[in-house]
Amino acid sequence: RKEVEQDPGPFNVPEGATVAFNCTYSNSASQSFFWYRQDCRKEPKLLMSVYSSGNEDGRFTAQLNRASQYISLLIRDSKLSDSATYLCVVSWGKLQFGAGTQVVVTP
């Protein structure tokens, strides 16, 4: 089993719709969690950290479920500019990136 797993997608989402996807991790000692977005041929950019109580940043909501060992990202009111690959990152001292979930927002 991979240490950090993501559904590769693509998730094809109509503009204005909501999309959500998860990232599972295997190490129960994981302490830090992040979501990054990566556009084609660009560097990963931090989207948001994920806190135990869950957190929201505009149209983006991140949740952490320690019992089931996954984090989630929900995007509301999707925009065309949200089309990207979303990478989850889990750290237990060692950093591990997921392979990414591709989201394609269509007009």
Partner 1 sequence: DTAVSQTPKYLVTQMGNDKSIKCEQNLGHDTMYWYKQDSKKFLKIMFSYNNKELIINETVPNRFSPKSPDKAHLNLHINSLELGDSAVYFCASSASGTMREQYFGPGTRLTVT
Q: How far is CA 54 from the centre of its chain?
A: 13
Question: Amino acid identity, residue 3?
Answer: E
Tokens of 72: 């989630």
| 46 near partner 1, judged by CB under 8 A | yes
Among 28, 29, 43, 68, binds partner 1 (CB under 8 A): 43
Cβ 98 to partner 1 shortest distance, Å: 9
| 99 near partner 1, judged by CB under 8 A | yes
Query: The tokens 């991790």 sit on which residue?
Result: 25
Distance (Å, rounded) from C-alpha 56 to C-alpha 89?
A: 17
Contacting residues toward partner 1, per CB under 8 A: 31-32, 34, 42-46, 49, 85, 87, 89, 91, 93-97, 99-100
